[in-house]
Structure 1
């Protein structure tokens, strides 16, 4: 009898799992339930769609639904929402606009993703308040932007999405007021990088308000004002970019454990505590390479890799989902901003490390080659073991790929000395003889010795 691999969620983790399972075990029935109309799309591209650099929302779709259905023989059902899981009977209750039915499974993957956080701020239910977590949200925000001219948008949150949307709005000639309740934007990147990014934002006419809590947003028929302890700021729209939280309610109600991060707890193969049930993607925990502890880092590669591993395991080849270093990069106007591993002194000490850090500034190219600029690097190592723990970088060029060298060092359990001795490439148009990463490692090695 044909076994059924049922997947709840049709984005990165879900469709990667479906494709891998069907490829490795063509006789297996693979069913995907997706409550929306979009599958396998690049949500990371939404800020650039809003800015106008990407013309069509459809361009963000990696593989259209019909290709999964026709070319890969995957039973993909859009507009089908999983309402309940019954682990004992191994069934899922499914709701559509027309009916409710029960779908059985032999193995189940929960890939329900994450939702935008709605902070406890009065007035967020008013018209003109947006988030940017889904394709439909991206369409709505773009329609608003296209209809405006010279208006002001308030952004609540100075993380990835907040920074990227500040650039997108300025690119559409909108004024921007950005509110961040912490001391700096991009807090996980460290204060040195954050200060450089804040300067870049202000140079591009973004009004940056740090250490600023938004109490409420006010208006009549729609939002008109952002109210903080420092005063009232007139706006024509508000983007809430306060982060995301994993969608775990469906799984939790079925007895599937939630881990310490608030995401679904899994083992090295993505298995939950419930037999035959897996979890992957933005709803699930994964082990951090620095601490060895569960982490929730909702990034695209993490979701795709974990989903693919679960698909291979279900098809008969047990495959670990792997560890992550939390490597991330974003564009902030003319800057590349990146990080990997852990930088926060308190968090590292809680994990048992004795962190030591250095911050350096180096040239992105050979000093005599035209067009170069400065790269700022903060590198963190452990005083006891000498291990590389994390890094952050900012600069106008060469940052987005240099961070990968440190990420590889972390996941390869390399020491700071090992990093300093890497045989990295050199040519004047691309870097100095001593790459900035090597220089940072040399300086940090001196402090650790």
Structure 2
């Protein structure tokens, strides 16, 4: 009799694990329970669907449920919610299609993802007030915009989702007001990035309300106004994007331990405190490659990679899930902004480092070659060891250069080692000394006291 691998959750981590496990061990019975109808979809593409750059919502689906069932031989059951886990008995309790039943497992992966945070705002239940974290929400926003053609939009939150939705709603003809309770948008990217992005957002017609805490929404049935600090402004649609929280209740109720971040605690193989129960994706912690401490980084690559590794482990060939540098990139109209590692100096100090940083601006191409742009690069290093801790990049082109910094972090490189890296050069792509190398050279000089 073959082992049974049960997966709870049908998106990035869950379906990567299921596919890898079945591919490595075809005799393994793989059963996936997904409470919704969508699986294996690109959540990061949803703002671009609302904007109109992605024609159909289904275009965001990487692999359909039918393909998983028929081509990959995975027992995928959509519309089935796991409502309980009994690690002692090795069973999950499932509700679906009008019945409740017990499903035994030999190995279990909890990949329940995360949920958009809903602050205690008045009027969250009004028509026209949305969060955007799943496909149904994206579809509902697009339908609303198409049907109502809103003149004014309120976007609450200046993170990835807020910036992307400001662009999307602006493209759909709305006058966009973005509200952020902190002093800057993209706060985790640092001031050097935020200030460039803010200037560009204003140039694109987005009204920024920084250091402004929203209190709620008002309207007769549908949203009409957004309230903040004793004032209010018109709003025909509102999108709240203030972060996500890991879905951990199922795990916690089963005695699966949570970590300090509030997400599910795991070891280097994605195992929980129960040896045959794993967790991955937006509900689980990962090890930060810079600090070595558990971190909660709800990003697509982290989820996919961890799921794939767990699938291989379950199939009989143990594979560590790997660490995370929190590498992220966001498009803000004509700008790109990216970050990786530890760029906040206070966080670096709390982790035991002595942070030293520099910010430089350099051209993305040779000065004589047309089409280039200025790229602002910030690098942070430990003053004692010279080890690279993190970096940010912002500009009209070349922001994927952050991947060079992310690679250096994964390798534990010092600033001196990074600035000696043999990066490619040709006038259409880079000056002789790439902006990342220029920043590393300047930072090395600062570390040396020059």
Q: Deviations over 1:312-355 (max 9, x none)?
A: 00011111000010111111000011000011111100000000
1-side partners of 2:440 and 2:302: how far apart?
Answer: 27
Match for residue 140 of structure 2?
Answer: 140
- Structure 2 spans left out of the alignment, 5+ residues: none
Match for residue 176 of structure 2?
Answer: 176
Match for residue 20 of structure 2?
Answer: 20
- Structure 1 spans left out of the alignment, 5+ residues: none
Give the alignment of 1:249-288 within 5 angstroms.
Answer: 249-288=249-288
Partner secondary structure for residue 372 of structure 1? coil
Match for residue 236 of structure 1?
Answer: 236
What is the root-mean-square deviation of aligned Cα atoms in Å? 0.8
Confirm whether residue 405 of structure 1 aligns to residue 404 of structure 2: yes
Tell me the matched-pair count.
448
The offset of 1:148, in angstroms, is 3.0
Give the alignment of 1:26-425 within 5 angstroms.
Answer: 26-229=26-229, 231-400=231-400, 402-425=401-424
Q: TM-score, normalised by structure 2?
A: 0.99
**Do 2:4 and 2:106's aligned partners in 1 also have CA atoms closer than 8 Å?**
yes
2-side partners of 1:420 and 1:290: how far apart?
Answer: 19
Would the alpha carbon gap of residues 427 and 379 (structure 1) be closer, same or farther in structure 2, given more than 3 Å must change? Answer: same
Moved over 3 A (4+): none
The offset of 1:97, in angstroms, is 3.7
2-side partners of 1:150 and 1:374: how far apart?
Answer: 35
Match for residue 444 of structure 2?
Answer: 445
Partner secondary structure for residue 336 of structure 2? strand
The offset of 1:150, in angstroms, is 5.0
Partner secondary structure for residue 282 of structure 2? coil
**Do 1:255 and 1:274's aligned partners in 2 also have CA atoms closer than 8 Å?**
no
The offset of 1:393, in angstroms, is 0.8
2-side partners of 1:285 and 1:229: how far apart?
Answer: 36
The offset of 1:93, in angstroms, is 0.7
Partner secondary structure for residue 215 of structure 1? strand
Partner secondary structure for residue 93 of structure 1? strand
Partner secondary structure for residue 316 of structure 2? coil
1-side partners of 2:317 and 2:353: how far apart?
Answer: 36
Higher mean Cα deviation, 89-98 or 248-257?
Answer: 89-98
1-side partners of 2:388 and 2:119: how far apart?
Answer: 35
1-side partners of 2:97 and 2:220: how far apart?
Answer: 33
Q: Deviations over 1:280-307 (max 9, x none)?
A: 0000000000100000011100000000
The offset of 1:230, in angstroms, is 6.0
Partner secondary structure for residue 282 of structure 1? helix
Q: Deviations over 1:383-434 (max 9, x none)?
A: 011011010110011112x100000000001000001000000010111001
Q: Deviations over 1:203-228 (max 9, x none)?
A: 11111111000112111212211111
Partner secondary structure for residue 331 of structure 1? strand
2-side partners of 1:125 and 1:136: how far apart?
Answer: 16
1-side partners of 2:216 and 2:49: how far apart?
Answer: 28
1-side partners of 2:127 and 2:443: how far apart?
Answer: 51
**Do 2:150 and 2:236's aligned partners in 1 also have CA atoms closer than 8 Å?**
no
Partner secondary structure for residue 394 of structure 1? strand
Partner secondary structure for residue 338 of structure 2? strand
Partner secondary structure for residue 380 of structure 1? strand
1-side partners of 2:149 and 2:134: how far apart?
Answer: 25
2-side partners of 1:292 and 1:268: how far apart?
Answer: 11
